[in-house]
Structure 1
Amino acid sequence: MIEPLALLVCATLFGGMILYSFGFAPFVFSTQEAAQAGRMLRAAFPRYYLFVLLCAAAAALLLVPLAPLRAAALGLVALSTIYTRQVLMVQINAARDAQLSGNEAARRRFGLLHGASVVLNIVQIVVAGWVIVGFL
């Protein structure tokens, strides 16, 4: 019973990450003014990261007896999500706020931090996909 449950949790993680990253976020920016879209996504990101953290941790725990390497990979997704949610997101928001208040140096910092979060998110999606493919 653990294997189907682990697959479902990991598939939920993968699907949720794909939907948020390539569906919801672009939709918000295409339907809202930039300032409103930014506020909406800033409010949504903590919930998104909590979703990723909980799904990755649950799938990792379920997979420990079945596939320790894949469990460890999902454990790293969970740990990196804690960092992203508690540290990187705070830094991104501070840089964006500084940029919006006229600090041009903050524009570059925001770009670098945001780019790092995007790359990390893509790596996490790839890891979740790799775990799912391991069930085939």
Structure 2
Amino acid sequence: MLTHLSDLIVAANVGIMLFFTVAVAPTIFVVLPQEWASAYVRSFFPKYYLFLGLSTAGAAALAGVALVQGSLVAVALVFFLSRFWLTPLVNRARDNHQGRLFKQLHTLSVTLNMLQLAVLVWILVKSLGAA
């Protein structure tokens, strides 16, 4: 029963991540003026990473398979790393007009997010195969 709850949390997190990637992110900078879009993103991402980190940690606590549990802990740690370390670095680079560093850090952020998404999808596929 608890492992099913873990799977539901993982599925919800995949949905959140996909919705943001496919619907929200591409729209923000098209619809909003640059300064509003930037303010929105700065406000959104700390909450995004914190929520996903906490919920993924919760899913890890409920997971029944050690490999899945370890993978979820790793994903949660990367969310917390992104929230408390990487996001402030990205913002500081942007504020200091360090375009190259900003681009590198932003690329790292996006890459980590896509790797986390891939791990969460792998967990769901693994879970479906076990059912």
TM-score by length of 2: 0.94
Cα distance in structure 2, aligned partners of 1:7 and 1:83? 23
Q: Does 1:128 align with 2:126?
A: no
What pairs with 1:15-94 in structure 2 (closer than 5 Å)? 15-63=15-63, 66-94=64-92
Write out per-residue CA displacement over residues 77-125 of structure 1, whole angstroms, 9 at most, x where no aligned residue. 11111111111100000000111xxxxxx10000000000000000000
Partner Cα distance (2:49, 2:23) in 1: 16
Deviation readout 1:21-79 (Å, 9 max, x if unpaired): 2221212112101121011111001110012101210111111xx21101111100111
- Corresponding residue for residue 108 of structure 1: 100
Q: 1:13 aligns to what?
A: 13
Q: Distance between the aligned counterparts of 1:22 and 1:68, measured in 2?
A: 31
Q: Is the 8 A contact 1:12 1:55 kept in 2?
A: no
Native 8 Å contact 1:92 1:114 kept in 2: yes
Mapped partners of 1:76, 1:4: distance in 2: 20
State the distance in 1 between where 2:126 and 2:24 align: 28
What displacement does 1:3 show? Answer: 2.3
| AA of the residue aligned to 1:97 | D
Identity percentage of aligned residues: 36
SS of 2:127 mapped into structure 1: coil
**What TM-score does the superposition give when structure 1 sets the normalisation length?**
0.90
Q: Which runs of 5+ in 1 are unaligned?
A: 100-105
Amino acid at match of 2:56: A
How large is the Cα RMSD of the aligned pairs?
0.9
